[in-house]
A and B are shown apart, each in its own frame.
Chain A
Amino acid sequence: MKNNLILGLAIITLLFSCTTDDTADIVINDNSVTNNTGGGGETTKPLVYISGTMSTNLTLSSDNQYILNGPLIMEAGTTLTIPAGMTIKAEATGASVYIAISQGAKIIAEGTADKPIVLTSNASNPVAGNWGGLILLGKAPVNSVTGTQTSTSEIGSLPYGGTDPTDNSGSLKYVRLEYSGGAASGSSENNGFSFYGVGSGTVVDYIESYEGKDDGAEFFGGTVNVSHYVAVNNHDDSIDWTEGFSGSITDAYVVHGPDHDNGIEADGYNTDYSHAAAFWSNPTLTNITIIGNGSADGRATHFRVGTKASLNNLYIQGFSLAFQIDGDAADNPTGAWIADGSLHVTDITFNDVTTVLKDVSTGEAFTESQFIEGVGNGTATDFATWGAGWSRE
């Protein structure tokens, strides 16, 4: 049985009452339709609501239809297993509905190109930000703390970071998130995928964030290696990193919708707090395609706060600005890293891009050719091949 509560013709009527301050009374007429759609394979499945803090393993069964209706937090030592082909629907009540895999816990969500795993909104007319997202927290190094210290996640107040670069938070394969990114405020945001100190032992291959209200994937430190990443119509940044992220992203396909911030927004460390561990964000990105809305506006990438990065084989299309660089000569030496080659682009092709590079505030002297070499040599990632079947555009 599948109950879809459709708010068909909801009308808000205001009755102006006789109070002196002329504040209206609210009368809500929800002409709601309850749709009991008979037939279809999954409609006969029992409905199971999931949320809460799990201290034992949770293995979802393909015999059930799951609704996520609050924070589902997997504690250390537990594993959340989601079978291939499963669609989990999240109640469309915003930031407080999400899945978090704590340090020491694992998620095993291994779909296939034919049977991807989908986490989506339970709304009948889903929109970005309907629910939170998927949060992984690991023990790989983050540069805001040192040694065995941990930092705390924006959502859920869960610890992350540590000394194990090969930490394993499980496996995500062919997993698509839709309409996530609900946020409480500018500093407490859910993303599609939030990788907090996730280690390189974690497998992340073929994932997508579709119509996320915030970032598609955000990396808070860690060493995780992500391959075959798709970001479509994410309203904030499609790829965002900070706190010393030093993993890799290989084959990423980023498409901006009408609402968007950057294709890539990159910080060297968490400027709200600390750069205690002194190392800088320094990931390797290979085969990255970023497609914007045309050269009239938009910024493809924004490198800030002393991030380093090795960027190889990029294809940027449809932006007024390809690279914005910010920093200063003291705590945030983004410009210095360009000058010494620590932040560098090798092989790139621009298509319909007005301005290639804008140094806004680094206070360093560097040339465009110091930053970028091999203009015209970039080729787009072969999304048509590897994105076929499981992804949504």
Chain B
Amino acid sequence: MKKFIPLFILFITSLSFSQNTGSIVGKLIDKEYNNEPLAFANVLIKGTTKGTTSDIDGLYGFENLEPGAYTLVFSFVGYETQEVNAQVVAGKVTEINVTMGASAASLDEVVITTTTKRESETALLLEQKKAVEIKQSIGAEELSRKGVSDAAGAIAKISGISKQEGSSNVYVRGLGDRYQNTTLNGLSLPSNNVNKKNIDLNLFSTDVIENVSVAKAYSSKFYGDFSAGNVDVKSKDYTGNGFLELSAGSSFNTNAIDKNFVRSEGTGFFGYYGRYAHNPFAIVLSHGIDPVNAGTPININYGGSAGKSFKFNDGSKLSLFLTGSFANSYEYRRGSAVDYTLTEKKAFDAAEEYEYGTNSTVMGTAQYRINDKNKLKYTSLFINNSSDVVGYFGTDGAGRSRDAQLDTQRGFYQMNAQFDQTQMTINQLEGSHSSGKLDVDWGIGYNLVHSKQPDRKRITLENYQYALDNDPNTNPTFYNNVDYDNQRYFQNITDEEINSRLNLAYNVSDNLKINLGYDGKNKTRDFNNIRYGYQIVDTKYPVTDVSNFDDVFTLDNLRVNQNQTNGIYQIKVFKPIPGLTNVNRPGLPENTYKGVLNVYAGYANAEITAGDKWLFVPGIRFENIEQNISYNVINLGNKGIDTVNTMSNIFLPSLNIKYAINDDQNLRFTASQTVSLPEFKEAAPFVYENVSSSIGGNPDILGATGSNLININNTAYSKIYNIDLKYEWFFSKSELLSVSAFTKQIKDPINLVVGADATGTQRYFRTGDKATIYGIEVELRKNLITSDDDDATLSIGLNGTYMKTEQNLYDQIVGTRFNLSFNKTKDKLQGASPFLLNADIQYAPVFNNYKPSATLVFSYFADRIDALGSGDLGNILEKGVPTLDFVWKNRFFKNKLEANLSAKNLLNPTIKYVREATIGDVVVTSANGKGISNYKRGMNIGLQLKYKF
């Protein structure tokens, strides 16, 4: 933290920035020739020397215009010259489309619109065309058109990107969570989930997004921990004169609507839990475990946004923007939950989960435009996100467990009620300043995340079939193989991060611009968990009502003293407080770890223009990376308490080349070296137990040395080489064809695999010396029918990726704590679908004041490896899933009122995972998915109303 402060003293001096300007773009139409585009017409800004000509598509544009009023003069030989007044607003695009003819155009043939630069689909496409690096963005306009409600859905519409169904996992070119970064306004964001590196993009509802961009090729301004892509969410950027917008909507899920919904006791409708202040032991004693009624499963959402700008006498301007929203959702899943390794360990053919989710978001921005050259922006974002899942496994009385004591073939049953809450606070201060040739752009941020799983309740029964037989003389009993088969679980994670960025851009000449920059972040994580187990002392106790455990685990039924023989249960804790026993007493956290990641980086790159055609951007970045993990975990004996400290200094060169074949077509080439850093949870050897899987970390992935070790590289990161080649053709203002080829090589890749021990726990290993990826990506956006204004009435979008991946696997690994072997030498990369497809078709006619648009969106990914099999285990595959959504938006009354109807997941495909086994594919549950496999999500049908005052 201390290291950042001196840097910001720098800013007080020289300050500049180019984003403070606006631009004018537009299209000229030839009235004398079937309203075709008018090429090579002159466009001048009156009273200046600035001028341009329209291109073959009739398009023209002026960039970097100071805000203010301009008069544009349009002329063409033989045509009437026209003058049009235009207002340029900082950060926005003014679009002026003019119809030219032999006689003067009437005023209504000139269409002027102003949109926020980074929301407009056309502007983003123009930005992509001009961009120095390979990146793709999706703005609020397209999001709204495609009925996307959050950032996760947003980036899944970008080529080469797929979402894992039923989870927040996003894959960029087949590379998962580990290989991505997520930033908000260019500053890094923490994860809301212990199991993830990246934040769940579902947390960013479209109300707070200006646009989402994915950079798939590296440039030196990004953190070196980059391989597949950097996802940047740009928060809403309001500078208008004032508005108020309110929205409310409702929807339902076809699977959930007729269910008697349940959720965890102690949680609220708005996704809050009120007992954090108490010792978990007090909660265990004071509160029961039975789920409670969750009301009628109709989803609601409402929100409001308001903005206002204030102009001051000195010419400065303060713009305030505030938005808040709440949404909830009910989802019901019915399927199976199976753990199959080389034999069936546990199988519930009938399992169901009720999931109640909420998301509350409040974001405020204050933007202070001091003058044309200096701007400050403060963003504060608070998110409360909750998920409450109640699962019942083995409801048919036919659940099987090979470790069952009474009957291995039937009657095994589990209930799991789990509430997760994440509260995130993100504060950022950004500034941009320009003076002459120097532009300075900086930001500092502070993120605080509390991610908690309070009071997860798990019950395990045997002979559940007796609960279904209406015979009061036969009843299920508690399964009590270990003291924690029936348990309460509490987990707390606190992530804290301070980060900063600074970029100095020096425009040496028209042909050379130099960027120098600094990035720094300090991130810490504190983790702890504790379990209280219900040790059933009355082991034959009949469970007469399987929906009422509250009456079993009462204080009256607690065997308070170990020398008594009354009571049904005792409460066990794993780590007693010194001086107290581990029975019926509060305890100490079972596992703790603390992670530290400090990254200090400096970079330099140059944007060199050679002639009209070539742009070269060579860059170099230096990073000093410190990764520490200290842990105190159970089950590893004296190896369970340790600290690992690593320090890496790395240089990352990159080269971007752009060749403009002509005004509409570019060829781009990028080569770079990057790294991939392990996550805290991957290095901390704590084991999380799901109902039918367990996952733990492995400190060896931060490197280890020792004479006994085999195939352990003493490295704390994976080195990655990236090469991209892209051809893009912008054949009109909103149309695009692009083809890319890419390859990557990842050294010492990390995979999650079952270790060679007797527990079946999946752990992280550097499983081979390298992995390689080859792929091609194709994207097409085409207007099939256009209106007189050249807006698309009927348009299609299509993008697809085809990939081939391969990784080498060691025959064996002997580590400091965990070992591994493979009976194969190569396999595909985990998470990489060989084929991805996204497609959409939109019909958007205009009828005076009524503007409907109907969009059909399709996406598909092919089968991919969900978990790599080690030893003799087969891989777990995630089966390919097609998704089809329909969104019908209607705008009335000069766009003031919006009524939108959506029907999502129309194909309602089955979501399932299978283990490849000798006996064929066996449906299993994945640790990366929901607690249930082989289920359908149901369709979501909803209506939303929005009114802008």
The residues of A with any CB-CB pair to B shorter than 8 Å are 7-12, 14, 19-26, 28, 30, 52-53, 70-71, 73, 92-96, 98, 100, 123-125, 127, 129, 144-146, 149-159, 183-189, 213-214, 220, 235-236, 242-243, 258-261, 269-276, 297, 302, 304-305, 324, 326, 328-332, 360-361
Contact = CB atoms under 8 A, between A and B. Distances in A.
Contacts of A8: 561
Contacts of B819: 145, 149-152, 159
B760 A272 contact: yes
Contacts of A269: 342
Interface stretch (B45-53, B55-63, B270-278, B852-860): B270-278
A94 B574 contact: yes
B918 A213 contact: no
A157 B286 contact: no
B304 interface: no
B286 A22 contact: yes
Contact of A26 (B540, B586, B872, B919): B586
Given A24-B286, A125-B562, A150-B814, A156 B636 contact: yes
B818 A273 contact: no
Contacts of A297: 406
Contacts of B298: none
A273 B408 contact: no
Contacts of B281: 26
Nearest to A328: B919
Interface SS, B side: loop
A213 B817 contact: no
Interface stretch (B13-21, B577-585, B594-602): B577-585
A220 B758 contact: yes
Nearest to A260: B405
Contacts of B735: none
Given A153-B757, A157-B636, A273-B871, A332 B482 contact: no
B484 A21 contact: no
A24 B918 contact: no
Given A186-B485, A187-B761, A275 B560 contact: no
Given A21-B274, A92-B582, A273-B760, 15 more contacts: A21-B278, A23-B275, A23-B283, A94-B572, A96-B575, A151-B756, A156-B635, A185-B689, A242-B758, A271-B343, A272-B341, A273-B755, A297-B406, A328-B919, A331-B872
B342 A275 contact: yes
A273 B873 contact: yes
Contacts of B580: 28, 30
B576 interface: yes
B510 to A, nearest CB: 63
Contacts of B918: 330-331
Contacts of B278: 19, 21, 23
Contacts of A270: 758
B560 A10 contact: yes
B639 A275 contact: no
B80 interface: no
A276 B756 CA distance: 11
A265 to B, nearest CB: 9
B576 A93 contact: yes
Given A151-B757, A155-B635, A271-B341, A331 B917 contact: yes
A157 B343 contact: no
A59 to B, nearest CB: 20
B102 interface: no
Contacts of A155: 635, 637
22 contacts: A11-B560, A21-B278, A26-B586, A28-B580, A53-B637, A70-B638, A93-B576, A94-B572, A94-B582, A149-B756, A157-B640, A157-B817, A183-B481, A188-B634, A188-B635, A236-B481, A242-B758, A243-B758, A270-B758, A273-B873, A305-B342, A326-B402
B639 A156 contact: yes
Contacts of A145: 756, 812, 819, 821
A274 B871 CA distance: 5
A286 B760 CA distance: 32
A123 B562 CA distance: 10
Interchain residue pairs A-B with the least CB separation, the first 4: A274-B871, A272-B760, A156-B637, A152-B757
B759 interface: yes
A186 B865 CA distance: 27
A183 B283 contact: no
Nearest to B639: A157
Interface of B: 266, 274-275, 277-279, 281-283, 285-287, 341-343, 345, 402-403, 405-406, 408-409, 480-485, 535, 539-540, 555, 558, 560-563, 572, 574-576, 580-582, 584-586, 634-640, 685, 687, 689, 694, 754-761, 812, 814, 817-819, 821, 823, 870-873, 917-919
B845 to A, nearest CB: 55
A183 B406 contact: no
A157 B635 contact: yes
Contact of B343 (A70, A71, A98, A305): A305
Nearest to B537: A127
A274 B482 contact: no
A272 B639 contact: no
Nearest to A258: B539
Contacts of A185: 482, 484, 687, 689, 694
B638 A71 contact: yes
Contact of A127 (B562, B586, B823): B562
Contact of B870 (A7, A100, A273): A273
Nearest to A360: B409
Nearest to A278: B872
A151 B278 CA distance: 42
A152 B817 contact: yes
A236 B561 CA distance: 24
A8 to B, nearest CB: 8
Contacts of B481: 183, 186, 214, 235-236, 261
Given A10-B561, A14-B285, A326-B402, A95 B574 contact: yes
A10 B482 contact: no
Contacts of A243: 758
Contacts of A159: 814, 819
Contacts of A157: 635-637, 639-640, 685, 757, 817-818
A154 B761 CA distance: 10
A258 B482 CA distance: 15
Between A98, A152, A271, A302, the greatest number of chain B beta carbons within 10 A of the residue's beta carbon is seen for A152
A328 B919 CA distance: 9
Nearest to B753: A273
A297 B539 CA distance: 14
Contacts of B756: 144-145, 149-152, 273-274
Contacts of B636: 156-157
B634 A12 contact: no
B872 A189 contact: no
Contact of A183 (B405, B483, B539, B584): B483
Nearest to A98: B637
